[in-house]
């Protein structure tokens, strides 16, 4: 895809994220790897008002186009691309259940085999840091190396994948897992989890599992 097509895909992903109930207002942000940096949503702009020219290019050094302001969270998006060469798209949101679990400051354990969607035996939760800071970006860089989906304490979710369709799919799957986890916690009962041995088997099977949508590289 060229820049125009990728920018339009970012906007469509934002709108779909809202339609799925994964975000509210201008919260959350979306990016794709592009050239030596990334394309990312602008700061403070409602998704339904965005146009292709509003999407901001940020280079690998954190420099962005004159006259445009990227999302306040651009630093952790760049950190994801620096930490993982196997992902080319990042979706961040404040989905209700993911945000609720993040407030508990705990990972989502292996309550179901679908935990493996992130590539690990849990959905980790990284420590809290003020939004839009280098400190938060460093926590994200550490966490995303463990799993393609991570919770940010007292904040929300990051999902990273090969393309935007897959990243949004991943974000939706983790939101479902978070909703199950909260319901289980509400029972007050001990929560059974899958064994480490079983998760090793599941993770191996997940190497060929997931949303099968590919996108052409940008030009």
User: Does residue 94 have a known ligand-binding role?
Assistant: yes
pLDDT tens by residue, 10-48: 999 999 999 999 988 778 999 999 999 999 999 989 999
Q: 176 pLDDT band (50/70/90 cuts)? A: very high
- What does the pLDDT read at residue 215? 53
User: Does residue 36 have a known ligand-binding role?
Assistant: no
3-state SS of 175-211 is HHHHHHHHHHHHHCCCCCCCCHHHHHHHHHHHHHCCC
User: Does residue 73 have a known ligand-binding role?
Assistant: yes
- What does the pLDDT read at residue 24? 80
User: Does residue 29 have a known ligand-binding role?
Assistant: yes
Taking alpha carbons only, the member of 130, 117, 105, 112 closest to residue 172 is 117
User: Does residue 208 have a known ligand-binding role?
Assistant: no
How many other CB atoms are found less than 10 A from the CB of residue 40? 25
- Give yes or no for a contact between 123 and 115, defined as CB atoms under 8 angstroms apart: yes
What is the pTM for the complete model shown? 0.93
The phi-psi region of residue 62 (left if phi > 0; otherwise alpha if psi is between -120 and 50; otherwise beta) is left
- What does the pLDDT read at residue 172? 97
Strand, helix or coil for residue 108: strand
First to last CA, the chain: 6
- Decide the pairing of beta strands 37-40 and 56-59: antiparallel
The residues that are catalytic are: 73
Q: 93 pLDDT band (50/70/90 cuts)? A: very high
- What does the pLDDT read at residue 33? 98
Reply yes or no on whether the pLDDT at 182 is more than 80. Answer: yes
For each of the domains in the chain, give its residue range(s) and CATH number, in order of start: 3-207 (3.40.225.10)
**The 37-40 sheet, strands edge to edge:** 56-59, 37-40, 29-34, 89-93, 156-161, 149-152, 125-126
- What does the pLDDT read at residue 25? 77
What is the C-alpha to C-alpha distance for residues 56 and 71, in angstroms, rounded to an integer?
Answer: 9
Provide mean pLDDT across the span 118-138. Answer: 97
Q: 106 pLDDT band (50/70/90 cuts)? A: very high
């Amino acid at each position: 895809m060229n820049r125009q097509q990728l920018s339009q895909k970012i906007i469509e992903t934002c709108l779909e994220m809202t339609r799925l109930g994964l975000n509210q207002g201008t919260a959350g942000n979306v990016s794709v790897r592009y050239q030596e940096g990334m394309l990312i949503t602008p700061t403070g702009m409602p998704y339904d008002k965005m146009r292709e020219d509003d999407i901001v290019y940020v280079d690998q050094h954190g420099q962005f186009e004159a006259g445009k302001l990227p999302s306040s969270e651009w630093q952790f998006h760049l950190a994801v691309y620096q930490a993982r060469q196997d992902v080319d798209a990042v979706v961040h949101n404040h989905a209700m259940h993911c945000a609720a679990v993040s407030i508990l400051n705990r990972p989502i354990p292996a309550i179901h085999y679908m935990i493996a969607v992130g590539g690990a035996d849990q959905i980790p939760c990284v420590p809290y840091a003020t939004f839009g800071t280098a400190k938060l970006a460093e926590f994200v860089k550490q966490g995303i190396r463990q799993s393609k989906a991570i919770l940010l304490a007292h904040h929300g979710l990051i999902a990273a994948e090969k393309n935007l369709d897959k990243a949004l799919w991943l974000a939706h799957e983790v939101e479902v897992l978070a909703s199950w986890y909260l319901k289980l916690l509400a029972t007050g009962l001990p929560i059974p989890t899958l064994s480490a041995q079983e998760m090793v088997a599941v993770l191996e099977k997940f190497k060929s599992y997931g949303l099968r949508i590919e996108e052409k590289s940008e030009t």
